[in-house]
Amino acid sequence: MRSLPCDCLHQLVGNDIAVKPLAPGEFRRQGRMVVDFLANYYENIEKYPVLSQVEPGYLSKRLPSSAPQDEEPMEAILDDVRQHIVPGLTHWQSPNFFAYFQTNTSTAAILGEMLCAGFNVAGFNWVSSPAATELESLVMDWLGKMLELPTPFLFSGNGGGVIEGNTTEAIICTLTAARDRVLRRLGHNSIAKLVVYGSDQTHCSFQKAARVAGIDPQNFRALKTTRSTLFGLSPDTLRKAIRLDIDAGLIPLYLCTTVGTTSSAAVDPLAPLCEVANEFGMWVHVDAAYAGASCICPEYRKFINGFADSFSFNAHKWFLTPLDCCCLWVKDPNALVKSLSTAPEYLKNEATESKQVVDYADWQLSLSRRFRALKLWLVIRSYGVQNLRSHIRNHCRLAKLFEELVEEDCRFEVVFPRYFALVCFRMCPSVVAGMSNGHIVENGHGEAWKLNKVNRFNAQLLRNINASGQVFMSHTMVEGVYVIRFAVGATLVSERHVIMAWKVAQEHANSLLSMPASE
Amino acid sequence: MRSLPCDCLHQLVGNDIAVKPLAPGEFRRQGRMVVDFLANYYENIEKYPVLSQVEPGYLSKRLPSSAPQDEEPMEAILDDVRQHIVPGLTHWQSPNFFAYFQTNTSTAAILGEMLCAGFNVAGFNWVSSPAATELESLVMDWLGKMLELPTPFLFSGNGGGVIEGNTTEAIICTLTAARDRVLRRLGHNSIAKLVVYGSDQTHCSFQKAARVAGIDPQNFRALKTTRSTLFGLSPDTLRKAIRLDIDAGLIPLYLCTTVGTTSSAAVDPLAPLCEVANEFGMWVHVDAAYAGASCICPEYRKFINGFADSFSFNAHKWFLTPLDCCCLWVKDPNALVKSLSTAPEYLKNEATESKQVVDYADWQLSLSRRFRALKLWLVIRSYGVQNLRSHIRNHCRLAKLFEELVEEDCRFEVVFPRYFALVCFRMCPSVVAGMSNGHIVENGHGEAWKLNKVNRFNAQLLRNINASGQVFMSHTMVEGVYVIRFAVGATLVSERHVIMAWKVAQEHANSLLSMPASE
């Protein structure tokens, strides 16, 4: 029999035995254990390989295949977290994490999550917890003002903001609203004629959202972008595509623009795109999932000029707030409510009937919702606008530093201009193409062969860098060119981590270049 | 200038000032503050009015309308939580909360949320954090075995489980998979012919999910249930509806059955319904959002016999796990993946290509996902199967106690038979109908008038009970009958709370009965 912690245990209730899973004494004791666990984790985070080194199936070999019949002490469980879970983590909070886009966290936000789980209110409508609704509206107006969103996006301007779980959900909700606005007029059969537009750089969430919302996959337009517009969507391309669709009897519905694409942090030119879309009565959404956070700094604000119907950014990326926290503002909340409200008898209440309150369930997919506004409010108050701006600027400065390091080494090139804190780089074609047993290969092979060779070299370089466990970067492919993505954004990152990451990249490039070419 | 906590502050980085939002010392200090804050909250939770007493708009009068420019100390923020947020909460964790269905929490689960927010990994695919994926698969198999789900729902049987945010999401995902399975065969234009089925007791999430997935609102069947089947959906009714739709040239697609409806915790007869649906090649989903948790007890397991394609229950209702945690199992994960997968270049990796791993982003709507398996794993280990069963049985026992108290007072009636821990009761029509200035009203008014009077009386009774702040119950309407719902499920509830709640109900009934009738 194992030993058991003090007051969470047996209490006779009738003839039955019950655990006491919220006993305050045990809550205090175990809560402190986990606070210390996490503090130790942050103190030691640089010791772990950033990219987990485990093999598929590792965990089922280490943990039992069935649930325990009896209670186990938290000490034993935390030991298992330490021994079996931590080695299987890819450490997103490591200062050496430069992959994808970061999802950074902070003390204030973790405290917000603790309060959220502790109160555990299901704020689907106002009455189910007025503070959850009102704090969310308040903090979304705060944030809207920090971003200098036009007044029609704020509650004070008859629009409003809501915290969704993620961008896919934000797009599904707004797309459904836009879709139903048209279908109410034309009848449901027209659903097969609706067309949605993005660019070939738009995040894959948009395609998924469109598919879920019943848009014919053949009516999904991923319009081609080119280097000439720095991979932003050209308004002319959009207009031509719309015209073609209208000529074919289809109905242009929704445009998803992006500020800070996932591949290269490219920016669609919002103002002219909105003009085109407005001409055709389309709904325009601005997906600023990654780069939106930067727009609290006046110098980045220009990127979101000119948007139209809805705007979202993920506070869970670059705003010191852990998953999940996607901030969505709309000009016409009523469009959401018309599509997403349900009014079952079991939720009817006077506050809702008075129409003086917001019922956020009608702004999102699910009924129940977490009190996510708490963490966002704690982050903004605990750090303040000025420090949040410094946080963004510091990451951009570190990205610039990395960019300069790349540029100083003439074997490498920065592939795209940098707006924010993402650097896309690769080993130069001239260096790789020349790598055949020390002899320059000039002829006998076409451009495609060369590009393929260069891409494979850079892919191998990235694999070697990541296999070291010292840093974690990721990749993308744009116009057939394989690039390594270096995204600065971890809460704990500082200059020395960026310099070290560059040294790791150089060392692996050196070894790879000194090896005989593989073919 | 305000005073500032010790090590979260200014550090010179280049020429810039940066906060240190994850400094371990400050994390420890502030983390303990919040642990104590919550422990105190639980110690005092019975002192708060269960249903918040604030007026719409209360919070904007108390908090600034713009974000602070500078950092604020956590002490000040927590003071504001205490003074301005707590009064606006409806206290779902109060032992006097008996409304809706509970969403109960526990120490283990809150610790799980802390670890989740602390690690803050975005486990969209295996490689982005192997432990997040593998622990989720493992714990979903644990739970599947606890529920004695048939092997085809477990990973070991080529099915599998996933944690979604909520039931709406679970339904949207499975409905999209079912829809696309048909549309791949018949072409996208057939979307307007697809029909989905539930009962008039099915949760409103189903209607919303169907609308989102592009099902024509005219093709949504809420089939009538009656008292004769205890508000379970009759297989004959289903078959007739399907036949009518097929005769009209429509295509039966999806049946959403319910185990434990929101109004009265009614149970659809799964086995015969599945037989009918299977005959027509439909996808059958079992929504056991509330009652599913009880099926870990052998005596409740019978209610989920006979299910077909997918099964979900909300651990965030009755399983000591805070929002959000909807457990979904499917027999054919590949159907989900075909509809929901995206494979952008920036996510390509060897593990995915090896097909040896699960990439959960392909089983859900969003790309990013929280490490929710941690809290579920901590709950199951920290309490063990036996105590979790006791937790369920204890609530059912307390509901039975309440039911007996209602039955002992001949002025009241229990309106529906009770399967789980929900009691639906009301003041008897004979008592209310007789209440006209002390004289029996026998003639001159029809049944509808009487029913309306009885309903209004019970609605007033509930308003008075809830306005007391002592307890919080909710209501529903079934076949035109207004009933008060008393759902036992708070983690902290015990016998004395149930007895007190009944006394409150009786007292308010006494005062209401002693008042002159209002018309």
- The CATH number given to whatever domain includes residue A17 is 1.20.1340.10
DSSP label of A59: G
Q: Do A115 and B38 touch (CB under 8 A)?
A: yes
| Structural domain includes residue B103 | no
- What is the reported pLDDT for A14? 42
**Contact status of A499 with chain B (Cβ, < 8 Å):** no
pLDDT for residue A308: 82
pLDDT value, residue B107: 98
Classify A196 as helix, strand or coil.
strand
What percent of chain B stands above pLDDT 90? 88
Does residue A342 lie within any of the structural domains?
no
DSSP helix/strand/coil, A97: strand
The beta strands (E) that lie in B239-360 are given as 251-258, 283-287, 310-314, 326-330
| Domain-terminating residue out of A25, A56, A83 | A83
B236 and B290 share a domain?
yes
Whether residues B497 and B397 share a domain: the answer is: yes
Which of residues A56, A83, A110 is at a domain's end? Answer: A83
- In chain A (519 residues long), the average pLDDT of successive 10-residue segments reads 38 51 96 98 97 97 97 97 98 98 97 98 95 98 97 95 98 98 96 98 97 98 97 98 98 98 97 97 98 98 89 98 97 96 90 93 96 98 97 97 97 96 96 62 70 95 97 96 97 97 98 73
Contact A373, A139 (CB under 8 A): yes
- Arithmetic mean of pLDDT, B295-307: 92
- A240 and A166 share one domain: yes
Co-location of B357 and B296 in the same domain: yes
CA separation for the pair A314, B309 (Å, rounded): 34
Question: What pLDDT is stored for residue A517 in this prediction?
Answer: 53
Separation CA B162–CA B252 (nearest Å) = 26
- CA–chain centroid gap for B275, Å, is 27
DSSP 8-state secondary structure symbol assigned to residue B422: E
Residue among A65, A120, A137 whose CB faces B103 most closely: A120
Q: Which of B119, B169, B261, B393 to mutate to test the interface with A (most CBs of A within 10 A)?
A: B119
Listed in sequence order, the residues at least 6 apart from A142 whose beta carbon sits closer than 8 Å to its beta carbon are A380, B65, B66, B67
pLDDT for A132 equals 98
Residue with tokens 């199967």: B385
CATH number assigned to the domain comprising residue A219: 3.40.640.10
Amino acid letter for position B58? Y
**Distance separating alpha carbons of residues A422 and A294, to the nearest angstrom:** 12
CA–CA distances in Å: residue A447 to residues A433, A442, A443, B41: 10, 11, 10, 68
For B336-372, write each residue's pLDDT tens digit: 999 999 988 889 999 999 999 999 999 999 999 999 9
| Cβ atoms within 10 Å of A494's Cβ, excluding its own | 16
Q: In this structure, are residues B13 and A28 in contact, taking their beta carbons and an 8 Å threshold? A: no
Which candidate from A41, A135, A348 shows the least CB-CB separation from B118?
A41
Asked if residue A316 and residue A170 are part of one domain, the reply reads yes
How many whole angstroms separate alpha carbon B200 and alpha carbon B436?
35
Q: Is B82 in contact with A97 (CB distance < 8 Å)?
A: no
Instruction: Give me the mean pLDDT over the B39-67 stretch.
Output: 97
> Is any Cβ of chain A less than 8 angstroms from the Cβ of B249?
no
Task: Enter the DSSP assignment of A81.
Answer: I
Q: Is A339 on the interface with B (CB under 8 A)?
A: yes
- Indicate if B343 and B257 belong to the same structural domain: yes
* pLDDT tens digits along B401-414: 999 999 999 999 99
197-226 in A: which are within 8 Å (CB) of B? 203-205, 207-209, 211-218
Residue length of chain A: 519
Is residue B142 domain-shared with residue B213, that is, in the same domain?
Answer: yes
CB proximity under 8 Å: B 69-98 to A: 69-72, 74, 77, 81, 84-93
Q: B74 and A354: CB-CB below 8 Å?
A: no
- Answer with the one of A60, A83, A106 that is the final residue of a domain: A83
Virtual torsion, Cα A489, A495, A497, A501, nearest 10 deg? 90
Q: Which residue of A has its CA nearest to B125?
A: A90
Is A99 part of a structural domain of the chain?
Answer: no
**Residue A372 counted as domain residue:** no
Q: Is A19 left (phi over 0), alpha (psi -120 to 50) or beta?
A: beta
Residues written for chain B: 519
Token pair belonging to B117: 């927010």
d(CA B519, CA B514): 14
In tens, the pLDDT along A145-161 reads 999 999 999 999 999 99
Which backbone phi and psi does B80 adopt, to 5 degrees? -70, -35
Q: Flag if B383 and A69 touch (Cβ within 8 Å).
A: no
Cβ pair A493, A461 in contact under 8 A: no
C-alpha dihedral sign at A452, A454, A459, A464: positive
Distance (Å) from the alpha carbon of A64 to chain B's nearest alpha carbon: 9
Asked if the structure places residue A97 within a domain, the reply is no
* pLDDT of B324 strictly over 90: yes
DSSP states of A416-471: S--SSSEEEEEE-HHHHHT-BTTB---SSS-HHHHHHHHHHHHHHHHHHHHHTSS-
Q: Which of B208, B355, B360 to mutate to test the interface with A (most CBs of A within 10 A)?
A: B208
Indicate yes or no: CB of A19 within 8 angstroms of CB of B391: yes
For chains A and B, what is the number of CB pairs under 8 angstroms? 550
A310: β partners:
A285, A330
Task: Specify the pTM.
Answer: 0.95
The letter for the amino acid at B309 is: D
Residue B437 has a pLDDT of 42
What is the token pair recorded at A141?
């107006």
Domain-embedded: residue B114: no
Q: How confident is the model at residue B388 (pLDDT cuts 50, 70, 90)?
A: very high
* In a shared domain, residues B172 and B305: yes
Assigned domain for A360 exists: no
Residues A287 and A425 in one domain: no
Report the distance separating Cα B380 and Cα A308, nearest Å: 47
Torsion angles phi and psi, residue B64, rounded to 5 = -65, 155
E strand residue ranges, B113-219: 160-164, 194-199
For residue B355, give the DSSP letter: T
Give the model's pLDDT for residue B381: 98
Chain B residue numbers touching A28 (CB-CB < 8 A)? 35-36, 39
Identify the closest residue of chain A to B75 by CA–CA distance: A382
Integer angstrom CA distances of residue B347 from A8, A39, A344, B146: 44, 31, 41, 35
Q: How many CA atoms lie within 13 A of A423 on its CB side?
A: 26
Q: Do B115 and A81 touch (CB under 8 A)?
A: yes
Q: Is residue A364 part of a domain?
A: no
| Ramachandran angles phi, psi of B482, nearest 5° | -80, 125
Please tell me the distance from the alpha carbon of residue B403 to that of residue A317, in angstroms, as a whole number: 50
Other C-beta atoms closer than 10 Å to the C-beta of A352 total 18
Q: What is the pLDDT of residues B429-441, one digit of tens each?
A: 999 977 654 444 4
Q: Are residues A310 and A180 in the same domain?
A: yes
Using the predicted structure, report yes or no on whether residue B85 has a pLDDT greater than 80.
Answer: yes
Interface probe for B, chosen from A19, A337, A377 (most Cβ of B below 10 Å), is A19
What DSSP designation does B66 have? Answer: S
Query: What was the pLDDT predicted at B435?
Result: 66
In b/e form, how buried is each residue of A138-176, taking b as 16+ CB within 10 angstroms? Answer: bbbbbbbbbbebbeebbbeeebbbbbbbbbbbbbbbbbb
Q: Looking at B174-250, which runs of residues are DSSP E strands?
A: 194-199, 220-223
Cα distance between residue A304 and residue A293, in whole Å: 11
Cβ-contact B80, B63 below 8 angstroms: yes
B460 touches chain A (CB under 8 A): no
When CB atoms are compared, the residue of B21, B107, B368 closest to A103 is B368
CA A480 to centroid of chain Cα atoms: 25
Domain count of chain A?
3
Q: Which structural domain, as residue segments, surrounds residue A67?
A: 11-83
| Ramachandran sector of residue A126 (left: φ over 0; alpha: ψ -120 to 50; beta: rest) | alpha
The domain that holds A440 is classified in CATH as: 3.90.1150.10
Structure tokens that stand for A310 in this block: 């809805």
CA gyration radius, chain B: 26
Chain B CB contacts of A65 under 8 Å are 138, 141-142
Same domain membership, residue B335 and residue B269: yes
pLDDT given for residue A356 in this prediction: 92
**Contacts with A210 (C-beta within 8 Å, 6 or more apart), sequence order:** A171, A175, A196, A217, A220, A254
Pair B194, B227 in one domain: yes
Q: Is B467 on the interface with A (CB under 8 A)?
A: no
A365 — contact with chain B (CB < 8 Å)?
yes
Between B492 and B446, name the one with better pLDDT.
Answer: B492
Residue carrying structure tokens 């669609």 = A268
* Beta strand B11-13 pairing with B16-18: antiparallel
Q: Quick one: tokens of B340?
A: 């929901």
B486 bridge partner residues: B423
Query: Could you report how far apart the first and last alpha carbons of chain A are, in Å?
Result: 62
> Between these two residues, B382 and B2, which has the higher pLDDT value?
B382
For B385, residues 6+ apart whose C-beta sits below 8 A from its C-beta are A67, A68, A69, A70, B146, B296
Structure confidence at residue B8 (pLDDT):
37
Whether B11 shows a pLDDT value over 80: the answer reads: no
Coil, strand or helix: which one is B54? coil
The DSSP secondary structure of A295-356, one letter per residue, reads GGSHHHHGGGTT--SEEEEEHHHHSS--S--EEEEES-HHHHHHHH----GGG--HHHHHT-
